[in-house]
Amino acid sequence: MASDRCSCQGGTTLVFACSGGADVGEISDRAARLLDERDVGSMYCLAGVGGRVSGIVKSTEAADRVIMIDGCPLDCGRRTLEEASIRGFTHLRVTDLGFTKGDSPPTSDTIECVAQAACAVVGSVCDSPGASGPAQATAPVCVGSQCCGG
């Protein structure tokens, strides 16, 4: 809720990242920020859900759509949401997109690829800043289990 307009009209998409310490965690974080910059959704605070901050938990429950990007199969983000009884969210895992934990530098290409994958999964258009149309990812767009990092 970045502006002072009324925000009671619905249509809210929240984006979470595990933001873990490994390279794939950083990729998840920066991809989520990219989605926020491109107005696909608002990046939100996973730590607030874990800490049971009431406003953050209730907002997550009320969101129309929640995207959770985990870096690796430990799925810390998914587990955090589930522990707070958040259900029905869209889950992506960076390592499912062909990236290897510990061997995936968070370059602009990898971050773009994960952001594009998130957009594809939820059916949104990922516009690049300043672009007149949908972004052309520099790496192949990944959908589902299709690899874009390998």
Partner 1 sequence: MTTIQILGTGCPKCKKLAENAESAAKELGIEYQLVKVTDINQIMSFGIMMTPGLAVNGEVKSVGKVPSVSDIKKLLQ
Report if residue 144 touches partner 1, rule: CB under 8 A.
no
Report if residue 87 touches partner 1, rule: CB under 8 A.
no
Q: What are phi and psi of 9, to 5 degrees?
A: -90, 0
- Stretch in the footprint of partner 1 (CB under 8 A) among 30-38, 48-56, 101-109, 113-121: 48-56
In the complex, the smallest distance separating the C-beta of residue 61 from partner 1, rounded to whole angstroms, is: 7
Interface mask (CB under 8 A) for partner 1, residues 14-33, using x and -?
A: x-------------------
* Closer of 8 and 133 to partner 1 (Cβ): 8
Query: How many whole angstroms from its chain centre is CA 101?
Result: 17
What pairing do the DSSP bridges indicate for beta strands 42-43 and 65-70? unpaired
**Token pair recorded at residue 30:** 């920066």
Q: What are phi and psi of 59, to 5 degrees?
A: -65, -40
* Closer of 59 and 116 to partner 1 (Cβ): 59
What is the distance between the alpha carbons of residues 74 and 93, in angstroms, rounded to a whole number? Answer: 10
**Token pair recorded at residue 21:** 């310490």
User: How many residues contact partner 1, by CB under 8 A?
Assistant: 24
Report if residue 59 touches partner 1, rule: CB under 8 A.
yes
Max CA distance (Å), the chain: 44
In the complex, the residues that contact partner 1 under the rule CB under 8 A are: 1, 3-8, 10, 12, 14, 42, 44-45, 48, 53-59, 61-63
